[in-house]
Structure 1
Amino acid sequence: MNELFHNAAPNATRVAPPLPKPRQYPQQKPANAYLFGTCVLDLFFPEAGMDAIRLLEREGIRVHFPQGQSCCGQPAYTSGYTDEARAVARAQLALFEQDWPLVVPSGSCAGMIREHYGELFKDEPATLDRALALAERTFELAEFLLHVCKVQFEDQGAPTQVALHTSCSARREMNTHLHGRALLAQLGNVARVDHDHESECCGFGGTFSVRMPDISGAMVADKTRALRESGAAQVVSADCGCLLNINGALEKQNAALRGQHLASFLWQRSGGGR
């Protein structure tokens, strides 16, 4: 959240960024797709990456995972290190050359590729076309399942209540909160509970939590208090950075409530592993 405004004048009017433009979705599911695992998912939530692959494979899609992939470049980009972000992004461009969809189990990382790669390479015409082409075929996982695969989940779990958390950048750039809500609504035994502070940042913000730990700590305290007071038995999110922050705070509070990646939640509720 902080990166939106930290360069603004103290009394400047805060103008919300525009919502994502409506996009045209393929009429048929592709035979092949790339998965961009994201660095946080790869290191801390590998089971969510595997569950994302299982969800796609169950739809008849062959999933390709280039081993050389790393970070999307977002931490450097939002911290003002544009040259470093460009170098990281250029390395990713070289890995996804086939004209297949790029599915990302993170709204913030998907938003980086889709919304900002064009800006990164605007002064490099030879690279810009590749960056824009990749951006156009980049989808956040929930968006892809809903609008491209047109999944219809049959809930096989016990009745439960969950709270959905969506990162602030994923909300404004990829509408991930709407996609997540729609998928959860397909699960007949899952009741999604609204919670106070639902649209507010959890305080992670990538490097924001490192540069401003006191503010970040206060924000995640507000977030976790709202989640605990919601009555939800579980938190579900499509962004691993937020899950790290929220789960860490809940653990420090000795709370029983925990968050799970949306991919794992959907896979388990729809009969995965049984």
Structure 2
Amino acid sequence: MRIALFVTCFNDTMFPETGKAVVTVLERLGHSVEFPLAQTCCGQMHFNTGYRPEAVPLVRGFAQAFAGYDAVVTPSASCAGMVREYHGVLARQSGDPGLERQVAEVAPRVYEFAEFLVDVLGVTDVGAFFPHRVTYHPTCHSLRGLRLGDKPFALLRAVRGIDLVELPGADSCCGFGGTFALKNAETSTAMLGDKMRSVVTTGADVLCAADNSCLMHIGGGLSRLRTGIGTLHLAEILASTEGATR
């Protein structure tokens, strides 16, 4: 199987260790991963803010960069959702039949990391060891967009040494929502406050999610409150073999 990593512009800029973790896990499972250097942003920021025509070149670039791969894996539920749900919409609106065909070929092969492991590779135990108390926040795109369901939990439950605890009010939004947090700062902060209170009640050492954008938002708040609770992307926990004995 020919696999490509779509790292996303956000992860590449802010959280490069997450992309490395995806590669670590897939290579541990016996797969090689390619990184197309032509990849850029998927256009989600532009699309969500109403700049649809400006997003079309990014859709075109994505389809070209990832053409020919059997699977495109990304550690971002929001970006995976953007490509699968809206690249086709933008291609149709562009009036370019060639772009429509390209997107129709590539978009269905884009997978969020957890769904690729569970649904495509049929794996839940990836050989991880992470001896910490962890709680999981199902981000809006992973929960309502991609409908990942129990897949992240299946992967986390198979991690050796982990103490996985349920997050109260897990299905509530953290208040990030991309530019929503900028345009509606007071509402976003109120939502963040509710989410942080839920996280703190778990007694977790680490908050985990499938989107670093939401983890950045929540983690920033937890840090300012000096809670001592860290944040890690799901891929980084799955890549961990901390303290494991051979």
Query: Shared topology, TM-score over 0.5?
Result: yes
Which runs of structure 2 are paired with 1:1-274 in the superposition (5 Å)?
30=1, 32-122=2-92, 123-151=95-123, 152-158=125-131, 160-269=132-241
After superposition, give the CA deviation of every residue in 1:101-137 in whole Å (9 maximum; x if it has no partner). 0001111100111111111111322111211221111
CA distance in structure 1 between the partners assigned to 2:209 and 2:242 by the alignment: 17
Q: 1:121 to 1:190 in 2, by over 3 A?
A: same
**Secondary structure of the corresponding residue to residue 222 of structure 2:** helix
5+ long unaligned stretches in structure 2: none
- 1:59 touches 1:149 (CA, 8 Å); kept in 2? no
Q: CA deviation at 1:190?
A: 2.1
CA distance in structure 1 between the partners assigned to 2:24 and 2:69 by the alignment: 21
After superposition, give the CA deviation of every residue in 1:172-211 in whole Å (9 maximum; x if it has no partner). 1212342211101212432322222211111110111111
CA distance in structure 2 between the partners assigned to 1:266 and 1:189 by the alignment: 12
Q: CA deviation at 1:157?
A: 3.7
- 2:80 touches 2:112 (CA, 8 Å); kept in 1? yes
CA distance in structure 1 between the partners assigned to 2:149 and 2:218 by the alignment: 17
- Farther-moved stretch of structure 1 (167-176 vs 241-250): 167-176
RMSD (CA atoms) = 1.9
Q: 1:113 to 1:213 in 2, by over 3 A?
A: same
Q: Which amino acid aligns with 1:138?
A: V
CA distance in structure 2 between the partners assigned to 1:270 and 1:177 by the alignment: 27
Q: Which amino acid aligns with 2:152?
A: G
Q: Which amino acid aligns with 1:219?
A: M
CA distance in structure 1 between the partners assigned to 2:204 and 2:11 by the alignment: 24
**Secondary structure of the corresponding residue to residue 150 of structure 2:** helix
5+ long unaligned stretches in structure 1: 1-29
Which 4+ runs in 1 deviate beyond 4 A? 269-272
- 2:129 touches 2:242 (CA, 8 Å); kept in 1? yes
TM-score by length of 2: 0.92
CA distance in structure 2 between the partners assigned to 1:140 and 1:107 by the alignment: 6
Q: Which amino acid aligns with 2:116?
A: F
TM-score by length of 1: 0.83
- 1:163 touches 1:235 (CA, 8 Å); kept in 2? yes
